[in-house]
Chains A and B, each alone.
Chain A
Amino acid sequence: MTFTRRNFLRAAAGGTAAAAACATLASSPAEARDNKKLPDNAIGLLYDSTLCIGCKACMSGCKDANDLPLEDNIGEKLWDTPLELSGKTYTVIKIYQHGTMENKDKAENGFAHIKRQCLHCVDPSCVSACPVSAMTKHEKTGVVEYNKDACIGCRYCVAACPFGVPQFQYDTPTPQIAKCQLCKHRLAEGKIPACAQQCPTGATIFGTYPQLSAEIERRKAMKAGEPNLFPRRTTDSGDNHERAAAEYVDHVYGQKDAGGTQVRYLSGVPFDKLALPVGLPERSYAADSETLQHTLYGGLILPGVALAGLVAAAWRGSKDHHDDDENHGGHSHG
């Protein structure tokens, strides 16, 4: 009797496992999550390294607009001297230098600037990683926003970001994640992000994603060395200045990298020299991670089936050899 029941249950458990395996295989194509799509009213920035003169007005504007403290990393106590993004710095201008540094925007014996800040990914790793919805992507504008009141400080976003953007504050008992939120408070007032507002050369300009795409196309079509007009602050500000177009590398950083970003870069030197990760896949890491999670846990179907099988097996197991404590009342506990 026991024998047949056991066999039956064993078969049942085996069947459960097989069903679970089939469910996995069958569900994976359907559950696979593609890259998230760009929101309809996506906005962003274009940073053109060839226009940047390294004046750091954007950094100063950012600190002012976001109430961030100055930091001194070189011991001179003369200026705000962040060397990288930090718990006190949302954006920083860094410089690539090579050889004699004679040629601006050239890799050989040249130099070039790069603006570090949140790239506002189309499909952000930080948003996918955050367990408590403290990192969110605005469904209309696509701005990646942070809510300190939701945040538990686990730093999964810090670790996950392929660009090393979110910065945790290690020097306070009430830390937050520091990161550019595209001046969402200024946007709410109808203003543009402070860095774009302050930039004197239009190296950083603000616009809708399509406006910036058109501007990128226009600049890439320019002939190197010929005079062209470049707008300041926004693509349609009408406040233009004329200068000779630089020679751009083909790569528009952020067009496709890691699933695309809403802050995009143009440059005269290859982006690996500007300390940005190159070779990132077009499929976002968030899509990889969530496809895996959805495949395993989508609708809690697999865990449910597995639990049924396990409980059945445990029930059978506990029937066959019940807790032997029942038979040993004579044992002393001392």
Chain B
Amino acid sequence: MVNHPIPSEVASRLRKPKAGHAAVGGRLLSPFTLVLGALIAVAMYFLAQRFIHGLGAVTNINNGYPWGIWVVWDVVIATGFACGGYAMALVVYILNKGEYHHLVRPALTASLFGYSLGGLSVLIDLGRYWNFWHILSPTYAQPGSVMFEVAVCISLYVVVLWIEFSPAFLEHLGMKDVKKTLNKFMFVFIGLGVLLPTMHQSSLGSLLVVFGAQIHPLWQTPLLPLLFLLTAVCMGFAIVILEATLAAVGFKRDIHEELPLLSKIGKIITGILVAYLVIRIGDLIVRGAIFSVFTSGVKSVMFLIEMAAFAYPIAVLSSPTNRRRLSKLLAAAMSMLTGAVLYRIDAFLVAYDTGPGWHYFPSAPEMMVTIGVIAIEVLAYIVFVRKFPILPGHSTTAAAE
């Protein structure tokens, strides 16, 4: 919902057009944060079971479906969700559109938690987690492995994100000099902050290439890396829109100032979506897989839902009037997010067929752990925006509380 701005505040903003970031403030303890805490406690209980008895005690994964939602949701999709920082850095610094600048830090915050927790989720899922450091050790590393590349890039990116984000900390801690020095070299980390997600988000798709015929032809293609990269950017921008809306509603902030920027993002999104659909369908035609669009049962249905979820936002956002309305932007973003999430679930689980007799659907405890991880992320975000200068500094009601 759009909060209608109070005229006097609009006037004050006009006097000070370049608002910086500010902490939202307010109480940390609320019914919502308590629920999050409870969800985290439940997840911790099941995690204890997992570490005492093994992965089978909590999850439904098996040797036919060795990767469940702890990989596909917690890592493959969650890091896609966390591409807001990537998408915004791409627009702000690389395409030189500085006008979006104050959307960067909130996006970066979500990326920070998404990636940091994605990294931690890997540890939960690794059977021999105590050896996790092998993947970064030259003694063990196997550079031909797509997994190796993904792991190295994600690890480096988590570090880069914390560095990119550190000005918000340094500001809070009053370390002005350090911040100033860091800002001088920040362009290096911004460059890395675009390169690394480009590499590992595309490689999340490349992971599936070696699966060969085990992945249905509607999804198996040498273009997997490109398609995964495009969906990562889609998810990133969708999250920026969603986040701006949620921050406005949740912290009772005025979104009026962000709206023109969001609508410009809507225009960028339209272009990316068109490119995605052209490449996706073009590839199916070239490989001759287009004929299985209607003949593959559940897989066909999932594919068509995916396509619809990508097509709908194009239809909505191609109209400039719609792009200026938050409700339409949000609807388009949610549809795009759904499409991208489905694409990743489909590619990793629905399209994956390892032979007859194998089934996978996540168990309730398995889902509770994933929900707990999401709860940690949301809680951390709330704490951070309340305590640190993250959101654009034109909060309205929250400041008065």
Indicate the member of B19, B20, B145 with the most A CB atoms within 10 Å.
B145
B124 to chain A, nearest CB (A): 11
Asked if A213 is at the interface of the complex by the 8 Å CB criterion, the answer is no
Q: What are the residues of chain B within 8 A of A275 when measuring CB–CB?
A: 355-356
B contacts with A, residue count (CB < 8 A)? 82
Contact of A332 among B22, B52, B210 (CB under 8 A): B22
Please determine whether B20 and A325 come into contact, CB atoms closer than 8 angstroms: yes
| Interface flag for A76 (CB, 8 Å) | no
Q: Which residues of chain A come closer than 8 Å to B129, judged between CB atoms?
A: 152-153
Complex-state Cα separation, A13 to B389, whole angstroms: 33
> For the complex, what is the distance from the CA of A141 to the CA of B29, rounded to whole Å?
64
A170 with B167, Cβ < 8 A, contacts A288-B210, A303-B199 known: no
- Assess the A280–B210 pair: CB atoms within 8 A: no
Select A153's contact among B127, B210, B222, beta carbons within 8 Å.
B127
Cβ of A285 and Cβ of B212 under 8 Å apart? yes
A315 contacts across to B, CB distance below 8 A: 187, 191
Q: Are B199 and A128 in contact (CB under 8 A)?
A: no
- The reply on A37 being an interface residue by CB < 8 A is no
Tell me if A169 and B191 are in contact (CB < 8 A).
no
Q: How far is the CB of A278 from chain B (nearest CB, A)?
A: 10
How far is A174 from B210 in the complex, measured between Cα atoms in Å?
27
- Select the residue from A164, A169, A292 with max chain B CB neighbours within 10 A: A292
- Answer whether residue B118 sits at the interface, using C-beta atoms and an 8 A cutoff: no
Would you call A292 and B222 a contact (CB within 8 A)? yes
A237 at the interface (CB under 8 A from B): no
**A297: which B residues are within 8 A, CB to CB?**
149, 199
CB-nearest residue of chain B relative to A322? B183
Residues A133 and B94 in contact in the complex (CB < 8 Å), given A164-B63, A175-B128, A307-B195:
no
* B242 / chain A contacts, CB cutoff of 8 Å: none
Contacts of A57 in B (CB 8 A): none
Any B CB within 8 A of the CB of A328:
yes
Known contacts A132-B142, A169-B54, A290-B144: A6-B96 contact under CB 8 Å: yes
Query: Which one of B130-138, B265-273, B329-337, B366-374 is at the interface?
Result: B130-138
A210 at the interface (CB under 8 A from B): no
- Whole-angstrom distance between the alpha carbons of A30 and B66 in the complex? 35
Q: Determine if B102 is an interface residue (Cβ-Cβ < 8 Å).
A: yes
Interface: B3 (CB within 8 A): no
The reply to whether B210 and A125 form a contact with Cβ atoms under 8 Å apart is yes
Asked whether any CB of chain A lies closer than 8 Å to the CB of B354, the reply is: yes
Residue-wise, chain B 157-196 has the 8 Å CB interface mask toward A (1 for contact) of: 0000000000100011000000000010011101110110
- Report the minimal beta-carbon distance from B213 to chain A, rounded to whole angstroms: 6
Q: Is A320 an interface residue (CB 8 A)?
A: yes
Residues of A within 8 A of B96 (CB): 6, 10, 313, 316-317, 320
- Which residues from chain A contact B381 at a C-beta distance below 8 Å? none
- Residue-wise interface mask of A (80-118) relative to B, using a CB-CB cutoff of 8 A (1 in contact, 0 not): 000011110000000000000000000000000000000
Query: Which of B54, B131, B140 contacts A171, CB < 8 Å?
Result: B54
Q: Are A152 and B131 in contact (CB under 8 A)?
A: yes
Chain B interface main SS type: helix
**CB < 8 Å neighbour of B146 from A132, A153, A164, A289:** A289
Question: Can you name the residue of chain B whose Cβ is closest to the Cβ of A283?
Answer: B212
Among A42-50, A154-162, A183-191, A261-269, the one that faces the other chain is: A154-162
Q: Which residue of B lies closest to A313 (CB)?
A: B94
A 172-222 contacts with B by CB, 8 A: 172-176
Report if B147 contacts A (CB, 8 A): yes
Q: How far is the CA of A324 from the CA of B393 in the complex (A)?
A: 11
- The residue in chain A whose Cβ has the minimal distance to the Cβ of B19 is A328
A320-B142 contact, Cβ under 8 Å, with A296-B225, A314-B190, A333-B389: no
CB distance from A172 to the nearest CB of B (A): 5
Q: List, in ascending order, chain A residues with CB within 8 A of B212's CB.
A: 125, 162, 258, 280-281, 285, 288
Question: Which residues of chain A (303-334) have a CB below 8 Å from chain B?
Answer: 303, 306-307, 310-318, 320-325, 327-328, 331-334
Q: Point out the residues of chain A lying under 8 angstroms from B66, CB to CB.
A: 155, 158-159, 168
Chain B CB within 8 A of A73 CB:
no
Bound complex: CA of A306 vs CA of B129, how far in Å? Answer: 33
Which chain A positions have C-beta within 8 A of B141? 131-133
Q: Which of B142, B190, B225 is close to A131, meaning CB atoms less than 8 Å apart?
A: B142
The docked-state distance in angstroms from the alpha carbon of A318 to that of B355 is 53
Q: Which of B20, B140, B144, B151 contacts A328 (CB 8 A)?
A: B20
Please measure, in the bound complex, the distance between the C-alpha atom of A323 and the C-alpha atom of B18, giving whole angstroms: 11
Smallest CB separation, B57 vs chain A (Å): 8
Contact call B195/A132, Cβ cutoff below 8 A: no
Collect the chain A residues with CB atoms within 8 Å of residue B352's CB.
159
**Which of B23, B63, B142, B194 makes the CB contact (< 8 A) with A333?**
B23
Task: Please name all residues of chain A whose beta carbon is closer than 8 Å to the beta carbon of B210 when the two chains form the complex.
Answer: 125, 128-129, 160, 285-286, 288-289
- Check A293 for interface membership: any CB of B closer than 8 A: yes
A residues in contact with B21, CB < 8 Å: 325, 328, 331
List the A side residues contacting B134 at CB < 8 Å: 132, 150, 152
Tell me, in angstroms, the Cα distance from A320 to B93 when the chains sit together.
9
Asked if residues B63 and A303 are in contact (CB atoms below 8 Å), the reply is no
B209: which of A155, A289, A325 is its contact (CB, 8 Å)? A289
In the complex where A131-B141, A293-B149, A327-B20 touch, is A158 in contact with B63 (Cβ < 8 A)?
yes
Is B320 part of the contact surface with A, judged by Cβ < 8 Å?
no
9 closest Cβ pairs, A-B complex: A153-B127, A170-B56, A321-B98, A328-B20, A311-B191, A317-B93, A153-B128, A285-B212, A289-B210
Please name 17 further chain A to chain B contacts, defined as beta carbons within 8 Å, in addition to the given A285-B211, A288-B210, sorted by A numbering.
A10-B96, A156-B145, A159-B67, A159-B354, A160-B210, A170-B55, A173-B51, A173-B54, A297-B199, A307-B192, A312-B191, A314-B191, A318-B187, A323-B167, A325-B167, A328-B18, A331-B20
16 pairs, A vs B, C-beta closer than 8 Å = A6-B96, A125-B212, A128-B210, A131-B135, A133-B142, A151-B127, A155-B127, A159-B214, A162-B213, A170-B61, A310-B190, A317-B190, A323-B186, A325-B389, A331-B22, A332-B22
